[in-house]
A and B are shown apart, each in its own frame.
Chain A
C-alpha cells in the first residue's frame, strides 16, 4: 500500500515537472528568448565555471587537508619510506599540473565567452610552443620513470642472504603459514597431497619438510629490523598478499610461487604507542577477487623484537610433531626409503639469520 502511495507521489511529481517544463518553453517562446541564438545563459554558464573553480577548488583543498592523516597508513618497512616519498613527490608534481591546467581551462572558458562583435583569434598552430609542451612532459616523465625504475629494481631485487623465510599460502578464504624450521629450508610440497590435515600438501618423503612448522590459522610473526622474504603461493584461485603498512603487495598464484621481501621497521608495540591505539594491529588483506569471502581474508601480523621472535618460534611445534600419524603413513608408503632424520624438536628451531643478528 505504501509502495503504491510512493509510486503515486512520484508519478504526480513527474507530471508537475513535465508541466513546469512545458510552461517554461511556452514562456520562452512568448518572450522571444527562444529565438535568440546566444542568450543570457551563455553568461550564466561562464560564471558557473568560475564558481565551480573557486568553490570546488577550495572544497577539494579543504577536504584533502582534512582527510590527509586518515589517508596515510603509518609506514613500517624500509622500502615503504622510499616509495612513500616518491608517491608524495609525484603527487605534488601532479597537483601543480592539475591546478594550473584546471585554472586555465575554467578561466579561459570564462574570459573567452561569447561577446557580440568579437571574433576568435585564428591560431591554427605554432610549432615552437608545441615542441616545448611536448618536451616538458617528456623530460618530467623521464625523471619519474628513472626514479621509479631504480626503486622498483631495489625492491624486487634478490632478498638479502640473512632474510627470514616465511611461506604464505592463500586459499578460499584464509591464509596458511609455514616456517622452514631449524634447517631453514622449506620442504617440497605437492598439491595432490593436500587433505584436511596436511593442508599445505607437505611431501614428508623430503627431509627438509620434516621440521617445517605450519599454521592453519593464527598470526604472521616477523622480526623487526631483519629482512623477511615472503614466499607466496595459492592452492585454489588467485589471491593477493596485501600489507598496506609495509607497502607490500604480491599475487598468490596457483602453480606459480611468487615472492616479496621487505624489512619491518617498527614492532607492533611501537606502532601501538605511535598511533596511540592500544588495539592497533598490522593487517594482511587479500587484494585479488577470490570469491564469497574475499573481503574477510584477514591475517594479523605481529612484528616483534628479534629475541621475542626467536622465543616465539622456539615454542612452535613442527607439523610432523603435531601429526605423527601423517608421517607414519608416509613412512609406510615409502618403506625402505625412510628419511633418517627424525622430527627434531622444533624448540631449537631458530632461523640462523635471526640467530646471527642477536
Chain B
C-alpha cells in the first residue's frame, strides 16, 4: 500500500463493485436541486433517513416517558385522586381513580414503545443508518430505496400504534410480552380487542421495517467497505451494528410467526396457544394449544432483542471512550470476540424468562447454564472499558460523560442478571420489581445512555453544529442521578417480592410496607423525566442556533470525520479515502499528534510506526 490512491475500486466484495466514475463523484455534487419532498421526506440518503429515525424516536421517547410518569403517579399515590388528569385521559379516570385496565394499557404501551420504537428503531435505526456508510467509506447504503422503505414502514407502524392509543376499548393491555390467552381473548380484557389487533398489525409492519433495514446494513458492511477497510479495521461501532442487524434478521421473523399464529387464534378459530378455557360463562371450543409455545416463540426474539438494544450502545460507547480518553480501546479483538460471543449466546438463553412457567425443569437447568455463560463476554467488555480509561487523558465531553454513565449502569444492571439467571433464585424474583429494576438499568437506561452519547458525539456531523456542552452536563448529571434514585430502591422493593404490573399493592399486607419508598421512586422518576426536556431543548435549539462545528471537532480517527462539516449526498465530494490502519491510533508514541486518522498511510507516520507496521510503509 504505497500511497493514498486517487480513486479506488471495491476490492472485498463480489457484489458491490462500484464503477470508477461513481467514485470520482462528478454527478454527486448537488448540482441538481432536489425538491423538498425528495430531500427531506422520501429521501434515500442514509443521513436524512437517520435523522428521520432519530426524530421519530424522540417523539416516541417523550410519549413513552409520559406514560411511565402516569403510572408512577398511580403507584406512588395509590389513594389520592387523579381527577386533574381527566382533561387528558377522559373516561379512563373514573371517579378520580385511574381505570385498572387502563393502568395495564399504560404499562404495556410504555414497554412496547420503549423497547421497539425507541431503543430498537430510534437507536439502531438512527446510528446504523448514519454511521455505517460514513465509517466504512461508502457513498450510501447498498439500497437507498429499501432504506427509505424501512423508515416509511416504521412510520406506518408508528401511526398504527399511535392511533391505537385512542381506541374506545383502549390500546393493547396484556403486557408488552402479550402472552396469550390474555392477549387472544377480548372477553378477558377489553384491550385485547381492537387494541391488540392494531398492536399486531403495527408490529408486523415494524418487523418488515427492521428486516429491510437489517438486510441493508449487513449487505452494506459486507460489500461496500472502502479500500483497505478489512473487517479487522472496522470501528467497533460498525461491528456492533453489523451483529445487531444479524440478530434482528434471524430473530424478528420468529416474532412475526408468533404474531401470525396469534392473529390466527384471535380471528380464525385456530388453537395454537389456546386450550381448555372457560371464560365469561362460556367454555371455548379450543383444545390442544399451548400458551407456553407462544412464550418460546416470543422470547426467541425477545432475548436477542435485548442485545439488539444494547449492542449498538456498546459499540458507540467503545468508540466515544477511545476518542475522549485519547487512548486505543483496550483489547480491540477481545471486544469483537465478546460481541460475537454475545450474539451467538443470545440465541440460546431465551427460556431463562420461563423458569417458572411450567416448562420442564431439566430445560430450566440447561438454560441456566447457558445464561450464566453470557455473563463472561459481558464482563470482558466491562473490564476492557475500565482498562481504556486507565492512564488515559480524558476529556469530559457530554458524550464521554454518558459513556462513563453507560458503563456504570451496565455494571449495576448486569450484575443482578446473575441472580435472575439462576433458576433456583428466579423462583422468588420472577416477575417482581427486582426484574424491573434489573432490565431498566441494563438495557433501558444503559441503552438510553448509549443513545444520548451517540447523539451528543455525532450531532456535529449530523447538523454541522455543536450541542451546548453546559446544558449537556446538566442533562447528564440530572439523568444519571435520577436513574440511580429510581432503580436502586426498586431492587429493595423487588427483593421484598413486590409483583410487577400491579395497579395497587395496598390489598396485600406483605407488599404494603414500602409506601414511602414507592413515593420516592415516583418523585425521582418524574423529575428524571422532566430533566429530559433540557436535552430536547438543547437538541432542537442547537440544530438552528448551535455553535458551528469544524470537520473533526473531537479529533477522532474514523472516516466520517474526513467528510465536509455537513456531508452532502454521496458523503465525500471527491474520492472516498482509502484506509490504512485500525481506528484506534490515539496517543501513539512518536506521532506528532495524539491521533492518527484511519486514512493516513504508514508511509506518512514513520516516526510512530510499530515494528510490524514498518513493512507496510
Contacts and interface: CB of A to CB of B under 8 A. Distances in A.
Interface residues of B, number: 118
A287 interface: yes
A136 B484 CA distance: 28
**Chain A contact residues (Cβ within 8 angstroms of B): what range?**
35 or more
A118 B188 contact: no
Interface in B246-304: 274-279, 281, 283, 287-292
Interface string B110-133: 000000000000000000000000
Contact of A237 (B182, B408, B509): B182
Contacts of B488: 60, 63
Interface stretch (A239-247, A319-327, A332-340): A239-247
Contacts of A245: 510
A312 interface: no
Given A235-B277, A289-B174, A41 B396 contact: yes
A171 B280 CA distance: 10
Given A90-B422, A235-B276, A247-B428, A112 B390 contact: yes
B395 A42 contact: yes
B393 A133 contact: no
A120 B586 contact: yes
A108 B496 contact: no
A108 B393 contact: no
B373 interface: yes
Given A141-B375, A141-B376, A236-B277, A123 B427 contact: no
Contacts of B503: 294-295
Interface string A121-151: 1111110011001100110010011001101
Nearest to B104: A289
Contact of B396 (A42, A94, A255): A42
Interface in A67-90: 67, 70-73, 82-83, 86-87, 90
Contacts of A56: 481, 484
Interface stretch (A96-104, A177-185, A216-224): A96-104
Interface stretch (A152-160, A207-215, A302-310, A346-354): A152-160
B394 A113 contact: yes
Contacts of A148: 368, 422-425
Given A112-B393, A253-B291, A255-B290, A141 B332 contact: no
Contacts of B511: 285
A287 B503 CA distance: 12
B389 interface: yes
A259 B371 CA distance: 24
Given A48-B477, A155-B427, A240-B431, A122 B587 contact: yes
A163 B91 CA distance: 50
A256 B291 contact: yes
A52 interface: yes
Contacts of B276: 191, 235, 254-255
B419 A91 contact: yes
Interface in B359-395: 361, 364-365, 368-369, 372-373, 375-376, 379-380, 382-384, 386-387, 389-395
B422 A145 contact: yes
A21 B276 CA distance: 64
A114 B393 contact: yes
A73 B497 CA distance: 8
A230 interface: no
B361 A153 contact: yes
A280 interface: yes
B501 interface: yes
A343 interface: no
Interface centre among B182, B325, B368, B386 (most CB of A within 10 A): B182
B411 A119 contact: no
Contacts of B418: 90, 94, 141, 144
Candidate in B393, B395, B427, B481 with the most chain A CB atoms within 10 angstroms: B427
Contacts of B380: 130, 133-134, 137
B470 A41 contact: yes
A121 B389 contact: no
A94 B77 CA distance: 33
Contacts of B391: 112, 120-121, 123
A36 to B, nearest CB: 11
A230 B419 CA distance: 25
B468 interface: yes
Contacts of B96: none
Contacts of B334: 125, 130, 134
A114 B587 contact: no
A289 B430 CA distance: 13
A296 B507 contact: yes
B379 A133 contact: yes
Given A45-B473, A112-B392, A134-B380, A34 B547 contact: yes
Contacts of A42: 395-396
Contacts of B11: none
Interface string A169-204: 001100000000000000000011010100001000
Nearest to A193: B283
Given A94-B418, A293-B100, A108 B386 contact: yes
Contacts of B327: 120-123
Nearest to A28: B470
A248 B279 CA distance: 27
B509 A119 contact: no
A18 B390 CA distance: 39
B426 to A, nearest CB: 8
Contacts of B422: 86, 90, 144-145, 148, 152
Interface in B558-617: 584, 586-589, 594
A126 B365 CA distance: 35
Interface string A18-60: 0001001100000000100010011001101100100010001
Interface of B: 100-101, 104, 174-175, 179, 181-182, 185, 188-189, 274-279, 281, 283, 287-292, 325-334, 356-358, 361, 364-365, 368-369, 372-373, 375-376, 379-380, 382-384, 386-387, 389-396, 401, 404, 407-408, 411-412, 415-416, 418-419, 422-425, 427-428, 430-432, 468-471, 473, 477, 480-481, 484, 488-489, 492-493, 495-497, 499, 501-505, 507-511, 513-514, 517, 547, 584, 586-589, 594
The 5 closest A-B pairs by CB, nearest first: A255-B275, A244-B497, A156-B361, A258-B358, A121-B391
